[in-house]
Structure 1
Amino acid sequence: MIEAGYFDIGGTLSYVEQTRHGRPLLCLHTAGQSGVQWRHSVAGLADRGYRVIVPDLPGHGRSEPPPGEPIDDLGRYAVWCEQLVDALELERPLVVGCSIGGKITLDLAVRMGHRLAGVVAMAAEAGPGRASLSGLRRELEDVAAPSRGDRTYLGTLAVVGRGIPAGRAELIATMHRREDPVVTTADLLGWGTHDVRAGLAEIACPVHLVVGEDDLWLDAAKVRMTAESIPDARFTLLEGIGHYPMEELAGFPALLHEWLTALVESR
């Protein structure tokens, strides 16, 4: 059973879906997207004993935009996530995120690792991500061009792994083109500037970093370096997978459960 509701988090009316029982697991989406990215994972994770919490970040999906300009600092999303943990009274939750969600996950590990049971950061490194900041800022002046949807669609296809069936890749790209280009551009500015490297050595919860071998957004060696900078962190390179493991891998809930179980047991 999935329950959905709106919560006032940090002054923003925010949409959150969650299952009822089990160990709390907070799932964070990618740039410009929403919790719909986890639609194929929620039931499988709930069946494995998790209380799955899937929010739409402020300005995304069915959540209202935050006061002021679109958020281009991923640290603000991390603060919002911490407020969500408090609002839902989550005790020692696990956190998993992908892309900007992965960066936010690492930020949460630095910020509040002592309160977390463990984190899985996918498609993310601790330093600034690859992005043309000047180009993104120019796009904010006119991001409603008709070609933007096509660019999102084709760009998504480009970073899906070669091991994914064509039909599944097509569905992922088609779903992604629903995004708001203003919000996405602000997210990507955050992707290109976010940096928590200074706090990695002090992280107080188990960490697992995951990157797809075919992820054109990332240098796997830098993700591995992030893992090596965190005490006892784990690192996984996914063969034939791109930027969106939870959407690309049909058996993702079982695999994530393995990763999370190992983190909890290691603690």
Structure 2
Amino acid sequence: MIHQTPATGNREQRIRDAERNLFAAVGADVDEFFLTLPRTGLRVRVLSHGQGPAVVLLHGVTENAAIWAPLFANLRHFRLLAVDLPGHGLSDPVTFRRGQVREHARQLIDDILDALSLDKAPVIGHSLGGMFALWHAAAGSNRISTVVAIGQPAVALPGVRVRMPLSLLTVRGLGIAVLRAPSPHRVYRRLLAQGQGSAEIAAAPDPLIQALRLSARRPENARTVASLMHAIDRFRRPRPESVLTSAELAAITTPAIFILGSDDPYLSIERARPSIDQIQDSRLYELPAGHAPWLVDPQRAARLIAEHLTAGPHPPTAEQAIAQL
């Protein structure tokens, strides 16, 4: 169940009701609290689960923190702190502007760690969350102890194509209209399947789909996401400033773990591998999935994550780790 702050507004209550059903379905006892961030002045929501070393989780665009629920029951020995990014879930909105998103991401992660009283912590990031974490590490900070990028990290790696339905969100005016358009549950599932993968959405519990659908349609969230997509992407390709250069990849000293689906729609593993290999201490694992592998196989994804977050100075090779699963 979820222990919650009182709801404000009918849509927020419906989001929380869907999340409560989701957490009951996966057997997770989740606490909700809010952080006021000193640098950005934003108020963000955190869903907390488990006991042990703290791990921060950052979701992808149009998602919210509840998308991590299938991992919660499989990572009980960590204190998972899943954050609703600004303009997602029940966090405050923000307007993103071209050329400023990287700096926003750096300040945001520092803000979150400060507000949680964490000098340093691992960050698990899906898509946008993984890109934010890699940008932060590429800026020279060592506050992220390990980056776990699950699913291609948005447009951080060279070669990514912006695909439907996300490409529609990059167009001024159209993005908000698409996000706010009324869509039946089944239609929304099909749109998610285009962005995440059919296996992912087939495996996703219905209450998760409902929580994501309601969250994406909040007016303030739609405005945030539309501004973000226009700031980081053109219609089909990322803006150059969003993509990490070879020099930036080579300068990352933070251990980086990539858990990628073999059918990720945004960038194939073959095209991603050369960029990942440029990161000094990186590991790449392939799972039979699309863009959100933990939705397809939460146990296997959780075991890979746990092995690296508890590993000593010599983590296992990809072959050794997969052989142990």
TM range (shorter): 0.7 to 0.9
**CA displacement at 1:173 relative to structure 2:** 4.9
Closer, same or farther: CA 161–134 of 1 in aligned 2, 3 Å? closer
Counterpart of 1:157 in structure 2 is: 193
**CA displacement at 1:41 relative to structure 2:** 1.8
Closer, same or farther: CA 176–114 of 1 in aligned 2, 3 Å? same
Query: Which deviates the most, 132-141 or 8-17?
Result: 132-141
Closer, same or farther: CA 115–263 of 1 in aligned 2, 3 Å? farther
* Counterpart-to-counterpart distance in 2, 1:172 and 1:20: 20
Closer, same or farther: CA 166–83 of 1 in aligned 2, 3 Å? closer
Q: Structure 1: which amino acid aligns with 2:162?
A: A
Q: Structure 1: which amino acid aligns with 2:175?
A: L
What TM-score, normalized to structure 2? 0.69
Query: Which segments of 5 or more consecutive residues in structure 1 lack a partner in the other structure?
Result: none
Counterpart of 2:130 in structure 1 is: 102
- 1:178-236 CA distance string (max 9 Å, x none): 31344443443436332222421111211112221111122322321221111131111
* Counterpart-to-counterpart distance in 1, 2:210 and 2:32: 24
Q: Structure 2: which amino acid aligns with 1:115?
A: R
How much identity, in percent, do the aligned residues show? 24
- 1:13-59 CA distance string (max 9 Å, x none): 111123474222111111111100112222432x33x2211110111
* Counterpart-to-counterpart distance in 2, 1:20 and 1:215: 29
- 1:70-109 CA distance string (max 9 Å, x none): 5676422342122111121213201111111111121122
What TM-score, normalized to structure 1? 0.82
Counterpart of 1:246 in structure 2 is: 294
Structure 1 residue 185 corresponds to structure 2 residue 226:
yes
Closer, same or farther: CA 245–185 of 1 in aligned 2, 3 Å? farther
Paired residue secondary structure (1:83): helix
Paired residue secondary structure (1:118): strand
1:25 to 52, 55, 62: 55
Q: Structure 1: which amino acid aligns with 2:294?
A: M
Closer, same or farther: CA 212–54 of 1 in aligned 2, 3 Å? same
* Counterpart-to-counterpart distance in 2, 1:41 and 1:141: 30
Closer, same or farther: CA 223–196 of 1 in aligned 2, 3 Å? same
* Counterpart-to-counterpart distance in 1, 2:61 and 2:305: 21
Structure 1 contact 207–263 (Cα < 8 Å) conserved: no
* Counterpart-to-counterpart distance in 2, 1:157 and 1:229: 31
Structure 1 residue 126 corresponds to structure 2 residue 161:
no
Structure 1 residue 223 corresponds to structure 2 residue 223:
no
Q: RCO (CA 8 Å, sep 6+): is it higher in 1 or 2?
A: 1
Runs of 4+ in 1 over 3 A off after TM superposition: 70-74, 132-135, 140-152, 158-176, 180-189, 261-267
* Counterpart-to-counterpart distance in 1, 2:229 and 2:296: 21
Closer, same or farther: CA 202–80 of 1 in aligned 2, 3 Å? same
Number of equivalenced pairs: 262
